[in-house]
């Protein structure tokens, strides 16, 4: 077997399907933007920030997340956001990445003078500029070098506070009588609608994601948003099984139609199940088989998992990827956060070489429709050619009307956004309900 040297790893065309823009800035760029925008940093040198903020290892998850306070603070205007997106692509190109889906929460950057659409369009400009420059190279045009393609995944948040951004603060101001979970749901619906609209207008939006703390903030609260994405033919990924057990993964798939799962670290962990399931072993086995049968891809992030999961800090061999591969699950290795995790595809490749390979063919789990992507990136593709029109817009019945009629027939009420014949699962928050496990 050929040894995967650093040079070979760099030259191999790679994909990255789970990488956060706000966790992947260049430190010199962060320092420069912070000075210009009067954002105070713990240090104004690369070495200082590496020592104090962006480390190789962290004591806990809160320390890991501290760096995002500074990166999101400088992503405060279109010029900065476009530059960050552009440099992000250059860094990936240098590492041999030829297909990347970068994700970010646009509402974190919304403020006076900067709408969610403008945030997304700024990232779009950065991606297009980097792709256009790279794909103009003679090696690419001759076919000896693969083209570079990028897409955007817009993140909704399971949980947020009003002081996280003006964008989030406006939900508290506009809906003062609403339950907090209604605010979270309303915010995610806005992300899904914006994603579908901006994709239809020709932006490089390919899907949506749900990020943030799982415990206490179940995926089911975001059914409406994901139904919108589902009906709009957007890709759907969900952070799940990262800081909660297998039932969180089930919710992502069952409630949100997830095509991919971000992390899925605790997929096999019976001891991480918190809901009253009688036969936990049978439940996990059924869930694993379901994930395998449906070819739901797991976005595996080895470095960040080792940095944030105490059980893996000293021994990465405890990571469940070996078991994922043994079960022939669809997996793909991802950076998660290039800056915060201090990782790149090349360093990740050396780490991943210990595991031999992932089990997802390169690019097969991506959300970008590669047909016509070159024209779309260059802006030559007509808007109509890039739009995937939901079935009900072609003259068929609106599926939302069907759901209301079914709900009413079964004793429900009009206006119910979704309907499930199984018990409503609030297990991640209340611990009351989980899907019946075999043998119950």
Q: Give catalytic residue positions.
A: 242
What are the strands, taking DSSP E only, across 4-138?
A: 14-20, 97-104
Q: What stretch of H or E contains 206?
A: strand 205-211
Distance between CA atoms of residues 13 and 359, nearest Å: 16
Tell me if residue 177 falls in helix, strand or coil: coil
From 92, 22, 427, select the one nearest 240 (Cα to Cα): 427
Pairing mode, if any, of strands 205-211 and 149-157? parallel
Distance between CA atoms of residues 302 and 69, nearest Å: 23
Distance between CA atoms of residues 167 and 380, nearest Å: 33
251 close to 219: Cβ distance less than 8 angstroms: yes
| Token pair belonging to 318 | 């405890």
What are the strands, taking DSSP E only, across 313-418?
A: 331-333
Distance between CA atoms of residues 87 and 408, nearest Å: 52
DSSP state of 296: P
* Beta-ladder partners of 240: 263
* Beta-ladder partners of 99: 15, 149
From 137, 97, 90, 130, select the one nearest 9 (Cα to Cα): 97
In terms of Cβ atoms closer than 10 Å to its own Cβ (0-12, 13-18, 19+), residue 40 is exposed
299 close to 263: Cβ distance less than 8 angstroms: yes
Non-local (6+) Cβ contacts of 121 within 8 A are 78, 198, 203
264 close to 237: Cβ distance less than 8 angstroms: no
Half-sphere CA count of 435, side-chain side, radius 13 A: 20
Angle at 167 between CA 126 and CA 114, to 5 degrees: 40
């Amino acid at each position: 077997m050929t040894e995967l040297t650093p040079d070979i790893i760099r030259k191999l065309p790679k994909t990255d399907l789970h990488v956060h823009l706000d966790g992947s800035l260049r430190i010199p760029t962060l320092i420069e933007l912070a000075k210009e925008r009067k954002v105070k940093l713990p240090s104004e040198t690369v070495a200082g920030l590496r020592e104090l903020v962006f480390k190789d290892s962290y004591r806990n998850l809160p320390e890991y997340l501290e760096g995002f306070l500074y990166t999101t603070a400088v992503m405060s205007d279109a010029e900065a956001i476009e530059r960050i997106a552009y440099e992000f692509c250059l860094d990936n190109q240098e590492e041999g990445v030829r297909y990347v889906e970068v994700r970010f929460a646009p509402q974190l950057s919304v403020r006076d003078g900067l709408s969610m659409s403008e945030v997304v369009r700024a990232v779009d400009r950065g991606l297009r500029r980097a792709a256009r420059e790279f794909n103009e190279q003679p090696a690419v045009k001759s076919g000896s070098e693969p083209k570079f393609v990028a897409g955007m995944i817009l993140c909704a948040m399971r949980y947020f506070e009003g002081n996280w951004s003006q964008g989030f603060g406006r939900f508290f101001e506009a809906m003062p009588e609403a339950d907090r979970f209604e605010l979270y749901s309303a915010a995610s619906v806005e992300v899904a609608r914006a994603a579908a609209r901006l994709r239809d207008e020709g932006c490089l939006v390919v899907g949506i994601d749900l990020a943030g703390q799982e415990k206490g903030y179940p995926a089911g609260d975001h059914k409406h948003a994901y139904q919108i994405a589902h009906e709009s033919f957007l890709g759907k990924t969900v952070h799940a099984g990262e800081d909660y057990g297998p039932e969180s993964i089930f919710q992502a798939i069952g409630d949100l139609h997830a095509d991919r799962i971000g992390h899925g670290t605790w997929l096999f962990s019976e001891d991480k199940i918190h809901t009253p399931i009688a036969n936990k072993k049978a439940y996990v086995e059924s869930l694993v088989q379901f994930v395998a049968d449906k070819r739901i891809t797991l976005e595996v992030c080895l470095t960040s998992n080792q940095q944030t999961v105490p059980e893996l800090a000293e021994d990465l061999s405890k990571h469940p990827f070996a078991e994922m591969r043994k079960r022939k699950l669809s997996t793909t290795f991802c950076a998660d956060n290039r800056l915060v995790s201090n990782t790149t595809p090349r360093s990740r490749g050396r780490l991943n070489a210990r595991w031999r390979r992932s089990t997802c063919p390169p690019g097969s789990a991506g959300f970008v429709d590669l047909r016509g992507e070159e024209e779309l990136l260059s802006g030559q593709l007509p808007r109509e050619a890039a739009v995937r029109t939901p079935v009900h817009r072609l003259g068929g019945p609106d599926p939302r009307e069907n759901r209301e009629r079914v709900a009413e027939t079964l004793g429900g009420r009009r206006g119910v956004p979704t309907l499930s014949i199984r018990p409503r699962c609030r297990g991640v928050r209340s611990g009351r309900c989980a899907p019946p496990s075999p043998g119950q």
